[in-house]
Amino acid sequence: MPRRTGAYWQALPCYTRRYFTYTSIPPLKAFYSDHFVLPLPQGHRFPMQKYRMVRDAVLHQLAMVELSPAPAASDGVLALAHHPEYIRRIAEGATSDEEQKAIGFPWSPQMVERARRSVGATIAACRAALDHGAGANLAGGTHHAYADCGGGFCVFNDAAVAARLMQAERRAARVAIIDLDVHQGNGTAAILSRDDSVFTLSLHGASNYPFDKECSDLDVPLADGTGDAEYLHALGDALDELARRFAPQLIIYLAGADPHEGDRLGRLKLTTEGLRRRDAMVFEFAARRRLPVAVTMAGGYGRAIEDTVAVHVQTLAEAARYAAAWEGKLR
């Protein structure tokens, strides 16, 4: 069993201190796939460069994070949440123009490999979390992918696949997916709609994409312009409701940067500090229940890409603090 002792676990909130000391072994294991770069047309709005920028920032700013390349998810693993025929079409480049338009990327071998490794990174992050308290995927959060189709820059649904695999491996029987990307996790909700062993929670912009939403176990739609105070209050209520209705053994946390006030696609008005407090609330919720947390980056489309990167990096710093406390390395 991991050591979970010391004042951190008895005195919450635990993330008010911005700095901590830890032993020389990095407590947070994080997995990346940014070396698979999609050949996107000039002016494409997907911020491909942010993933490499996040990894570079982690290398220079967060000594408490250990980086590893993501493994690729096999067809068999993907089939835990996706139809085999859809997996085949993606792998062989046999998708229609309409299918690729819905995904938002032109088909390429790099797209296939990156999609497999994005799922593999979340699987690895879940395993790391169950062993060490927290793990991270420096991409992922591909929550618009359905069982038989992709959408919204999402090819395969990493959270749904990872949740099912952790159950198949008997690592966690009950999984909560806390989706705090600004867009509703419609694909995740649809895939898991009849699965009582996985709880899906989504806080999202009410009038934002996707315009035809699915039913999560708990949906919290927010008005355009929602700021820190209202958002954090809604999140607190949602976490309380989750605790009343479900007892997870693992949390998969989609920590989108797109609720930020500077996001091109977000429509909400959270500050960088507000997003740090959001992350802290999720980890405090997990700490009170001694729950492992696997973090994915999800969306982020800042007008200034440096703002998006900063939000993602501070999420990883919070995850590293959590892992350090779990392992008894927080001083």
- In this structure, the chain runs to a length of 331
Q: Counting Cβ atoms within 10 Å, is residue 48 exposed (0-12), middle (13-18) or buried (19+)?
A: middle
**104 vs 146, 223, 247, 309, CA distance in Å?**
14, 26, 36, 22
Rounded (10°) angle between helices 49-61 and 305-326: 50
The catalytic residue positions are 144
φ, ψ of residue 16 in degrees (nearest 5): -75, -25
Nearest to residue 158, comparing CAs of 123, 108, 113?
A: 123
Q: Which residue has the tokens 């067809």?
A: 75
Q: How far is it, in rounded angstroms, from Cα 78 to Cα 84? A: 8
